[in-house]
A = this chain, B = another copy of it.
Amino acid sequence: MRSAAEAAPSFLYLPALRTLGERFTLEGEEARYLTRVVRARENERVTASDGSGHVAVLRVERARPELVLVLESAREHPRPPSARLICGAPEGERGDWLVEKLAELGVTDLDPVDTERGRWPAGRDGRWERLAVAALRQSRSAWKMAIHTATGLSEAMAAARERTRWLADPDGAAASRLPMAQDTVVAAVGPSPGFTEPERKALRGSGFEPVRVASYRLRTETAALTVAALWAAARSPAGDVGSGPEA
C-alpha cells in the first residue's frame, strides 16, 4: 500500500537511459504513458530507471507535440546481492502473478525450470517482461528482475553461484534463521506435483538444504512467494524483521 505522504511522481522504465544524453525526445509506450495517462505538464519532474542500476530525475521541457525531457540528475545504484528463485511450473495461469510478486519483492533472478513432472508453458516471455517492468515501476526500483529462459534443473543448478541455498521442502528442517541482509541466496521450488526423488538428491548434492518455510503444505507459487517474502524482510534495512541477534 502507499501512504498519502508519498503519492509519488511518475516513474519510467527507459532501458537506454544511459545513452539518451542531456536532452532527448521520447517516443513509444513510456511517452504515451506520460502524456496520456499521467498527463504530465511542462516543468514537471519524473524519475526514470534503466532497470540496471541507473536512475535519473528528468524534467518535462515540452509535452506537445513531442515529449522532450531534460536530464537533471542521475545516480548509480549498486547491484543488490543476488536473490535467485529456481522454480518449477505452477498450475495453470499461476505463473503470471508469481512473476509479478517475485519482482515486486525484490527477487533478482527467476530461473523457470522444466522438470520431470512439470513444464512451463511456452510463449510467455513478452507478458512476463511486461509484468517485471510493471513491478519495477510499482516498487520504483533501480534494478529489474531478470527472467531467464526456461532450462533444465541441472543447467539452473550449474548457473547458481549463491552462497545460501534452500530447497523448499515441506519435509525439510525449519531453517534456524533468515539469511543476513547481504547474503546471496538461491532457493529451488518444485513444480506443482513436486520434484522427483532423483531431482531432490541432485539438489541436495549441490548444497541445497531442505528447508520448510511454513508448517502448511503450500502450492508451488505460494512456497516461492513465501521464500521471497522472507528474503525481503531480511533485507529490510536497520532492525530487520527476524534478522536475529547478529543484526
**Interface, chain A (partner B; CB < 8 A):** 1-6, 8, 88, 97, 101, 104-106, 138-141, 168-171, 173-178, 189-197, 200, 211-220, 222-223, 225-226, 229-230, 232-245
Residue of B nearest to A170 (CB): B3
Q: Do A195 and B1 touch across chains, with their CB atoms under 8 A apart?
A: yes
Among A171, A225, A229, which residue has the most Cβ atoms of chain B within 10 A?
A229
A238 to B211, CA, bound (A): 12
The answer to whether A200 and B1 touch (CB under 8 A), given A173-B239, A241-B177, is: no
A141 to B215, CA, bound (A): 10
- Give, as a whole number of angstroms, the nearest-CB distance from A39 to chain B: 18
Q: Do A236 and B217 touch across chains, with their CB atoms under 8 A apart?
A: no
Q: Do B175 and A241 touch across chains, with their CB atoms under 8 A apart?
A: yes
Q: Do A233 and B218 touch across chains, with their CB atoms under 8 A apart?
A: no
Main SS of chain A's interface residues? Answer: loop
Contact of A237 among B1, B140, B200, B215 (CB under 8 A): B215
Residue of B nearest to A216 (CB): B139
A133 to B32, CA, bound (A): 43
A212 to B141, CA, bound (A): 17
Supply 29 A–B pairs (Cβ within 8 Å), ascending by A. A1-B88, A1-B193, A2-B170, A2-B190, A2-B192, A3-B171, A3-B200, A4-B196, A6-B170, A104-B219, A104-B222, A105-B216, A105-B218, A106-B214, A106-B215, A138-B217, A138-B219, A174-B240, A177-B242, A178-B242, A213-B236, A214-B233, A229-B229, A230-B230, A230-B233, A230-B241, A233-B242, A234-B242, A245-B245
Residue of B nearest to A176 (CB): B239
A175 to B239, CA, bound (A): 7
Query: Given the complex, which residues of B lie within 8 Å of A173, measured CB to CB?
Result: 239
Q: Do B229 and A226 touch across chains, with their CB atoms under 8 A apart?
A: yes
**Other than the known A213-B229, A214-B235, A242-B243, what 16 A-B pairs have Cβ atoms closer than 8 Å?**
A1-B88, A1-B192, A1-B220, A1-B223, A3-B190, A4-B194, A101-B222, A105-B226, A106-B215, A139-B218, A140-B217, A175-B239, A211-B241, A226-B229, A234-B242, A244-B244
Q: What 5 pairs across the A-B complex have the smallest Cβ distances? A: A242-B242, A229-B229, A1-B190, A214-B232, A178-B242
